[in-house]
Amino acid sequence: MFASRERSEFGPVDIAFTDRHGGISSAPFDSLDVSRSRPGRDAELASNLARLANAFAVPGFATMHQMHGAEVRVVDVPGLAPGRCDALVTKTAGVALCVRVGDCVPVVFADAATGVVGVAHAGRAGMVAGVVGATVDAMRSLGATLIEAYIGSHVCGGCYEVPPAMRDEVAGLVPAAFACTRWGTPSLDLGAGVRSQLDAAGCTSNDRARCTRESDDLYSHRRDGDRSGRFAGLVVVRGGERD
């Protein structure tokens, strides 16, 4: 169920990235698919989220309708955030945040000292739009100072082939994202681009990524197209444990 799970070394913040195992979704979305876009699969989604909440020891998750942009919502209760956005932040202990991805970069943020946490959906378009910086700014507006960021699994630069013009356009805005595939064609390294933006924003980065396209334990739209589900990045500050 969890591809990686850890507690921030600076305090009672629990962070996790899921894999595709431990749910009830049928093939080809087996089995812990947490995507919203599957017609007729609302019961599966609810069951998978309930299983995940139980395993993460929270009553539920704050989630979002993601749109590949840079909108951020501040939330203080579980449930679907209003409107469409690609990042959530909270300073409310016990409110668990969830970001869903296939090949995009899931980023989890935490300042355990102040109890401010966040998640961001940083795909190609969101990275270019500045979702990383917007999330950091929103966290700082709530009092965050020393922010750790955890980068989850995503399609790697060696696999994310794009047209030459797209690579040039993106790299013109985020130079660190310029890459080539293993077979020598133009590509984008979203992880490197996100790391460069985290560095520029003054965050400490922790890389927990594997390539989604290369790992059968993870969902990948690049590999499976419309037959791909979504996995999640999660974060929560445990209530009553901070000094």
pLDDT of 1 higher than 60:
yes
Q: Render pLDDT for 10-23 as a digit per residue (tens, 0 to 9).
A: 679 999 999 999 99
The mean pLDDT of the chain is 95
Q: Name the CATH superfamily, with its identifier, for domain 2-154+204-237.
A: CNF1/YfiH-like putative cysteine hydrolases (3.60.140.10)
CA 121 to centroid of chain Cα atoms:
5
User: Each residue of 168-190: b (16+ CB within 10 Å) or e?
Assistant: eebbeebebbbbebeeeebbbbb
| 151: helix, strand or coil | strand
Average pLDDT over residues 74-89: 97
The partner residues of 111 in beta bridges, in order of sequence, read: 116
Average pLDDT over residues 78-88: 97
d(CA 172, CA 183): 23
Q: Which residues contact 171 (CB under 8 A, 6 or more apart)?
A: 177, 178, 188
What φ, ψ does residue 65 adopt, rounded to 5°?
-85, 105
pLDDT of 37 higher than 90:
no
Q: Render pLDDT for 87-115 as a digit per residue (tens, 0 to 9).
A: 999 999 999 999 999 999 999 999 999 99
With cut-offs at 50, 70 and 90, classify the pLDDT of residue 243: very low
Average pLDDT over residues 75-82: 97
With cut-offs at 50, 70 and 90, classify the pLDDT of residue 40: confident
pLDDT score at 242: 41
- In the chain, domain spans: 2-154+204-237
Token pair of 46 as six digits: 């609810």
The partner residues of 17 in beta bridges, in order of sequence, read: 4, 233
The partner residues of 120 in beta bridges, in order of sequence, read: 87, 107
pLDDT score at 8: 76
pLDDT score at 5: 94
pLDDT of 241 higher than 60:
no
Q: Render pLDDT for 112-168 as a digit per residue (tens, 0 to 9).
A: 999 999 999 999 999 999 999 999 999 999 999 999 999 999 999 999 999 999 999
Average pLDDT over residues 22-27: 95
pLDDT score at 10: 63
With cut-offs at 50, 70 and 90, classify the pLDDT of residue 237: very high
pLDDT score at 9: 67
